[in-house]
Amino acid sequence: MTQKKDLRRFVGVMVCLAVLLVVFFFLTLLTGSVKVPFAEIFDRENAIVADIRFPRALLSMIIGGALSVSGFLLQTYFKNPIAGPFVLGISSGAKMVVAILLFMSVYFSFQITSLGMIAAAFIGSMLVIFFLVIIARHIDGMGALLIAGIMTGYICNAVCDVIVTFFSDNDVVNLHNWTKGSFSGADISSVRVSFIIVMVCFVLVLCLSKPIEAIMLSESYAFTMGVNVKRLRFLIIIVSGVLSATAAAFAGPVSFVGVAVPFLSTKLLKNTKPLFVIPVCFILGAFVCLVCDLIARTVFAPTELNISTVTAIIGAPVVIFMMITNRKR
């Protein structure tokens, strides 16, 4: 009976989120500094929709889903509800290595491909993740891990600031916008590459949902159920790193989505089963990023806010509330 109730709730949440996602997707295509009539949305010759708003909306949804699932995996690995790509400094690590690559491309005059950006971001993400894994073995409590992540983020951001001083004015503007988080550079090519990578990771995580559920109970229980705990933890770290790297490569650091969305997903479902939480995480993360990007580019149009500014305003209170409720328990 409980399983049927959980399934009905899951289907209901997914349907509601899907409807909201479709509504706001079309609203994103229509709204901006230049209003577009609904009839022109499907006109491929309309450059504003076809070349700017359409790929931007798709990329924001893909990155939102990627960050949310990555946050869920990191929270599972560290057994810490406030673990996330941005909070733990993982996004900053990815940003640092990509900034170094961008500097080298300008200095040595070579082109960077999308896969090159993702590879650089992945290296940065994994460097920070492995550092935090080592730190987590020597400290207790979520507060200490949070501080370690924040300090790591500060170090990576400082390196980025040093790099910026050596860029020309035009390059500084582009790099500065990217380091603050933005979907403004989205195109169909970046959408295609990010979609393939994120979908492969998403399907893999869904396939791992049963072992993840076992390890969430305890590692000893997972071991008795025949789960290879070391291999599973390794896969969790790699997949979360790839998702974080993809987000950082195409949008820069986006704050608090990876922490707030998994928390909100479990609250909506009133369930912690990964098989239910992971899909809701993805679609809710897509919705949150889509709405935040819409706010970022329209609220003060034609001036555009950084996406992290909006996600911080919305996500930070959720994280504070989450910490208070966990404290009361």
Tell me the CA distances in angstroms from 167 to 2, 248, 252, one per residue in order. 59, 20, 18
pLDDT at 287 (0 to 100)? 96
pLDDT at 157 (0 to 100)? 84
Per-residue pLDDT of the chain (329 residues; tens, 9 = 90+): 577 888 899 999 999 999 999 999 999 988 877 777 777 777 777 777 778 889 999 999 999 999 999 999 988 888 877 778 887 888 888 888 888 888 888 777 778 777 787 888 888 888 888 888 788 777 766 667 778 888 888 898 888 888 777 766 555 555 666 667 778 778 888 899 999 999 999 999 999 999 999 988 888 888 888 888 888 888 888 898 889 888 888 888 888 888 889 989 998 998 889 999 999 999 999 999 999 999 988 887 777 888 888 888 888 888 788 777 765 55
Tell me the CA distances in angstroms from 323 to 24, 101, 145, one per residue in order. 30, 37, 14
Q: Where are the domains of the chain?
A: 56-328
Quote the CA–CA distance of 97 and 126 in Å, as a whole number: 11
pLDDT at 245 (0 to 100)? 84
Answering whether pTM is above 0.85, one says yes
26-37: b (≥16 Cβ within 10 Å) or e: eebbebbeeebe
pLDDT at 322 (0 to 100)? 76
H or E segment at 294?
helix 274-298
Q: In this structure, how many other beta carbons lie within 10 angstroms of the beta carbon of residue 304?
A: 18
pLDDT at 200 (0 to 100)? 95
Quote the CA–CA distance of 202 and 144 in Å, as a whole number: 30
Q: Determine the Cα angle at 130 with ends 65 and 242, to 5°.
A: 30
Report the SS3 class of residue 168.
Answer: coil
Quote the CA–CA distance of 127 and 116 in Å, as a whole number: 17
pLDDT at 301 (0 to 100)? 75
Residues 6+ apart with CB under 8 A from 94: 120, 121, 122, 124, 125, 128, 244, 245, 248, 249, 253
Quote the CA–CA distance of 111 and 103 in Å, as a whole number: 11
H or E segment at 57?
helix 54-78
Helices 2-30 and 257-269: crossing angle in degrees, nearest 10, is 130
Quote the CA–CA distance of 180 and 168 in Å, as a whole number: 18
Quote the CA–CA distance of 15 and 175 in Å, as a whole number: 38
Distance of CA 25 to the CA centre of its chain: 18
Q: What is the DSSP string of 208-249?
A: THHHHHHHHH-HHHHHHTT--HHHHHHHHHHHHHHHHHHHHH
pLDDT at 178 (0 to 100)? 67
Contact 304, 84 (CB under 8 A): no
pLDDT at 172 (0 to 100)? 56
pLDDT at 177 (0 to 100)? 64
111-122: b (≥16 Cβ within 10 Å) or e: ebebeebbbbbb
pLDDT tens digits, 285-328: 999 999 999 998 888 777 788 888 888 888 888 878 877 776 55
Give CATH superfamily name and number for 56-328.
ABC transporter involved in vitamin B12 uptake, BtuC (1.10.3470.10)
pLDDT tens digits, 128-178: 888 887 887 777 666 677 788 888 888 988 888 887 777 665 555 556 666
